[in-house]
Structure 1
Amino acid sequence: MVITRRTQQQRRAQAEAALLNAAAELVVQRGVRSLTLARVGEQAGYSRGIVTHHFGSKQALLDRLAHATQSGFVPGIEDLPPGLDRLLRFVDGYVGALADIGVMNRAFLLLWAEAATTSDLAPFFRERDETFRAHLRSDVTAGVADGDMRPDVEPDDVAVAVVGQLRGIGLQHLLDPQAVDTARLRHTVTDYWRRALRLP
């Protein structure tokens, strides 16, 4: 039997993934303000020294966590050409994915909400939201050019409204999952944007 030993790089990557997952769990369970290096180490089954070694400070940990939690809710959308269809599929997929949202995505929504009052988090989430809006603007611009959307649609306004709506639904679902029927709501929200954007 051959025993394959993990390299130092593999051990480091595994430890960092475990620490980031523990940090995400703590954000979900207790909130950002209660996050400490010691608690992250305890949650992950490591010492505080290991957490400090990997991240150096709470701010560095939060920065890495913010980047780690930004994975998309709707895989496969990036393979579609910009336009009305991609926008509608994204809206539908985003709301639908909330039914089985993982700890990293939960932490992302909570960190995003916290960024409004935490200057250390704000720059990253401003940049992240601008990227989100840019994708939506490209869908609207392409949809208008293709003749699938009304010519008077304003891409910037649609992008801000869609981001606000989706993030808001996500936060409501975190607060009270029973009040947000994602299976029904995904169709309602998608149909709303179809009717609002499409040519008559």
Structure 2
Amino acid sequence: MRRTQQERRDQAEAALLTAAAELVVEQGVRSLTLARVGERAGYSRGIVTHHFGGKQALVERLARATQAGFVPGLEDRPPGLDRLLRLIDGYLGELGRTGVFNQAFLLLWAESATQPELAPIFRERDAAFRADLREDVEAGIADGSIEASVAPGEVATAVVGQLRGIALQRLLDPGSVDTEALRRSVTGQWRRALTP
């Protein structure tokens, strides 16, 4: 059965993003070039340029692709305490299965602190993450499942900081971070801290 042009394009983009993620994990973002991505994926540099235009656009697309759907199963849940706690639990659970896309995201996120071309991308990604968490806290306050005196923005910042910090520790020294134990303790801590 012949594939459509869109299917071929989607397959090529997926292969290029996977190759880019692998190269970031192996060699860091500074060594990422369009030629290396094309070669790793089995395509020419021209196809990489055709899909992304340049390195900056490739990195932006990789950042979005690696963060999208990190915690599956949340899309159908209404905002509130339950979704917030499921996100925390799911995020920590996914860290136990850290694949190349998750590793690439974390490495890019860490490098964004010192790479001016990455900083805007990851500021925007973290702002969107905090906005989702803030929405959960605000919904929980509104329905009475979260203590009315908590500050949604502060909780969102603290949760992102904690999850990203645990993720980086896991990336640096996987054996020292028991994600299954942390799923129970961290989720429990947030439940106790937020409920009336």
Cα distance change on mapping 1:189 and 1:5 into 2, 3 Å: same
> CA RMSD for the aligned pairs?
1.5
TM-score by length of 1: 0.91
Aligned residue among 93, 97, 101 for 2:94: 97
TM-score by length of 2: 0.93
Is residue 47 of structure 1 aligned with residue 44 of structure 2? yes
Aligned residue runs from structure 1 range 114-153, under 5 A: 114-153=111-150
- Counterpart CA distance in 1 for 2:65 and 2:80 is 28
Is residue 7 of structure 1 aligned with residue 4 of structure 2? yes
C-alpha distance after superposition, 1:20-79 (max 9, x if no partner):
110000111111111111211221122223323332321122122122212122112121
Aligned residue among 156, 159, 162 for 2:156: 159
Structure 1 equivalent of residue 106 of structure 2: 109
- Counterpart CA distance in 1 for 2:46 and 2:53 is 9
Cα distance change on mapping 1:82 and 1:53 into 2, 3 Å: closer
State the 1:189 CA deviation.
Answer: 0.5
Is residue 82 of structure 1 aligned with residue 79 of structure 2? yes
On the 8 A contact 1:71/1:105 being kept in 2, the answer is no
Cα distance change on mapping 1:114 and 1:149 into 2, 3 Å: same
State the 1:160 CA deviation.
Answer: 0.2
Which of 107-116 and 178-187 deviates more?
Answer: 107-116
On the 8 A contact 1:59/1:120 being kept in 2, the answer is yes
Cα distance change on mapping 1:113 and 1:152 into 2, 3 Å: same
Gaps of 5+ in 2: none
Structure 2 equivalent of residue 57 of structure 1: 54
- Counterpart CA distance in 1 for 2:80 and 2:13 is 38
**Partner secondary structure for residue 77 of structure 1:** coil
C-alpha distance after superposition, 1:120-162 (max 9, x if no partner):
2222221221111111111111222222222211111000000
Which of 184-193 and 147-156 deviates more?
Answer: 147-156
Aligned residue among 67, 70, 75 for 2:67: 70
- Counterpart CA distance in 2 for 1:171 and 1:96 is 14
- Counterpart CA distance in 1 for 2:148 and 2:7 is 52
Identity score, percent: 72
Cα distance change on mapping 1:83 and 1:9 into 2, 3 Å: closer
For 1:63, give the aligned amino acid.
E
For 2:15, give the aligned amino acid.
A
